């Protein structure tokens, strides 16, 4: 299998991973950024404001939206972890289905009766240059047990807006979970369910044949 060693591929994946995921930054850096923004806004000579592009000018957009999960699986060449069945009644089917640089699957779910939101990412560890596909940098990651029978170790970070982000791996796959609108009580069973399903998923597809066109 080939890893992403080409600089452009690596750069596009890095940009794509940042899209749609809140980022953590030290308070002093955030404050400095706010001050710089205020200065530019107040200055009559400041440049016109532009929309924040999700990818550098002159490069292809690393995120491509697909009509459904099967279409994305065909495009990236490997199976994708989905929402645990015990959450089907609580969440709409994936409202957005993205492929990031042809290497990472990104599924977005929204609660039916509340404002909770879930982003779930799946990638093949053997195909990417990193085991962290969360897109979150500068966070205070804490390693802990997911609460499952195997006591799977996962890395968890809580961002400034309360979003909880998790990264872990199982078998040939790496995963990242972002959950917004959850407190500690509601987040724990969510995390446990995803880790348990991911373990079964990794076992089921431990020896699947990768689409030869996607190596």
Quote the mean pLDDT of the chain: 79
pLDDT per position as a tens digit, 30-60: 444 444 344 434 443 433 332 333 444 445 6
Given this model, what pLDDT does residue 13 score?
52
Each domain of the chain, given as residue ranges in start order, spans: 63-214
pLDDT per position as a tens digit, 127-181: 987 889 999 988 999 999 998 888 899 999 999 999 999 999 999 999 999 999 9
At 64, phi and psi to the nearest 5? -120, 130
Given this model, what pLDDT does residue 214 score?
60
Given this model, what pLDDT does residue 67 score?
96
CA dist., res. 172 & res. 198, Å (int): 11
User: Rounded to two decimals, what is the model's pTM?
Assistant: 0.74
Given this model, what pLDDT does residue 148 score?
87
Q: How many CA atoms lie within 13 A of 181 on its CB side?
A: 11
pLDDT per position as a tens digit, 63-111: 999 999 999 999 999 999 999 999 999 999 999 999 999 999 999 999 9
């Amino acid at each position: 299998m080939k890893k992403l060693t080409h600089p452009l591929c690596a750069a596009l994946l890095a940009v794509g991973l940042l899209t749609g995921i809140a980022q953590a930054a030290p308070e002093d850096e955030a404050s400095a950024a706010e001050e710089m923004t205020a200065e530019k806004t107040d200055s009559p000579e400041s440049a016109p404001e532009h929309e924040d592009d999700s990818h550098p000018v002159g490069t292809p957009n690393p995120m491509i939206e697909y009509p459904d999960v099967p279409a994305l699986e065909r495009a990236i060449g490997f199976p994708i972890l989905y929402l645990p069945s015990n959450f089907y009644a609580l969440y709409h089917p994936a409202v957005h289905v993205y492929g990031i640089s042809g290497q990472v699957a990104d599924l977005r779910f929204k609660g039916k009766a509340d404002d909770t939101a879930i982003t779930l990412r799946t990638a093949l560890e053997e195909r990417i240059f990193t085991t962290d596909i969360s897109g979150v940098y500068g966070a205070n990651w804490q390693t802990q047990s997911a609460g499952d029978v195997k006591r799977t170790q996962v890395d968890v970070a809580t961002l400034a807006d309360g979003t909880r982000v998790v990264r872990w791996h199982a078998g040939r796959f790496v995963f990242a979970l972002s959950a917004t609108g959850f407190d500690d009580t509601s987040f724990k069973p969510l995390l446990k369910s995803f880790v348990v399903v991911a373990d079964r998923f990794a076992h089921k597809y431990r020896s699947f044949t990768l689409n030869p066109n996607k190596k």
